[in-house]
Structure 1
Amino acid sequence: MAVRIEPAKVTDLHQVLKDHPRYWGDRDLRALHLTAMVQEFGSTCLVARDDDGIRGYIFGFVTPDRLGYVHLVATRDDARGSGLGRRLYGAFVEAAGRQGAVRLKAITSVTNEGSIAFHRALGFAARVVEDYDGAGVPRVVFTRELSVS
């Protein structure tokens, strides 16, 4: 069966947390996986699933000033390199656009070379912002305008 991208449910979040290493390897990012995100921003928290389970996900929301913020995006270890991350971003852009988003934003650590390369390939501008996540904690901030039709 083909991969379907659809709104996430809380049970999907629990499955992602159970399989956390398959998405994030040795990095423990479970604390960033907030149930409230799925509960409150369900139309912009999406999972990609097939008969083999959840292959990837993107969790985000749209702010009142029309910014589509991507909080988390990940693909399972056996789905990497398949274009699924790009498809998830495309689905997020559509969902965020329906809510009026005109630009996108995401952040990552300055050492996350994979995320930096991925976002640049998607057309994001990237800049390092010192102290973004507290004193001495820089982050790479990605931004991209959306075409408004």
Structure 2
Amino acid sequence: MVVIMGMHIAPAEVADFHQVLTDHSRYWGGRDLRSLHLLALVQEFGSTCLVARAEDGIRGYIFGFVTPGGTGYVHLIATRDDVRGTGLGRRLYTAFAEAAVGHGARKLKAITSVENTGSIAFHRSLGFDTKIVDDYDGPGRAMVVFHRELPLNVSRP
């Protein structure tokens, strides 16, 4: 567990997962991404599904896992609307990277839609290489694929 400014980053629990879904719009605005939130990730990969908790609730979360080939895959990362721009996303990624290394990860991977310019800029700021891969998510559905080696040493710009 990492404690920062009255907030601690710790493995997600099932109750946290349900709270994130209840407060979905605080993290994702008008985009409905609830179908991407998989409870099995929290149940099966609990040590790499992390939440940033504070007295006022869950400020952010990162859900991912480590593949058998040693890749720490980030499935979702989100920060609540009132804490964006505070560096919380970087802290969540750092905590995930540390947990992933503990499970044998040597590199990180994430994906996003080609239209998600905010995510693309964020991942580039963390040192990820980006590549558009045609048909990644099915015929005619290109995605941006992010890769980077570990360790993840990032500081706030």
TM bin, normalised by shorter chain, reads over 0.9
What amino acid does structure 2 have at the position aligned with 1:124?
Answer: F
What amino acid does structure 1 have at the position aligned with 2:106?
Answer: V
Cα deviation code 1:46-88 (max 9, x no counterpart): 0001000000000000000000000000000001000000000
Gaps of 5+ in 2: 153-157
**Which residue number in structure 1 is paired with residue 139 of structure 2?**
135
- Counterpart among 104, 108, 117 of residue 104 in structure 1: 108
- Counterpart among 92, 97, 100 of residue 88 in structure 1: 92
Q: Secondary structure of the residue that 1:78 maps to in structure 2?
A: coil
Counterpart CA distance in 1 for 2:151 and 2:88 is: 22
Counterpart CA distance in 2 for 1:54 and 1:12 is: 8
TM-score (norm 2): 0.93
Identity of matched residues, %? 71
Aligned pairs (5 A) from 1:35-114: 35-114=39-118
Residue 115 (structure 1) aligned with residue 115 (structure 2): no
1:147 to partner: Cα distance: 3.6
**Which residue number in structure 1 is paired with residue 155 of structure 2?**
none
Gaps of 5+ in 1: none
Give the count of matched residue pairs: 148
Alignment RMSD (CA, Å) = 1.0
**Which residue number in structure 1 is paired with residue 25 of structure 2?**
21
Question: Displaced runs of 4+ in structure 1, greater than 4 A?
Answer: none
TM-score (norm 1): 0.98
Cα deviation code 1:13-38 (max 9, x no counterpart): 00000000000001100001011000
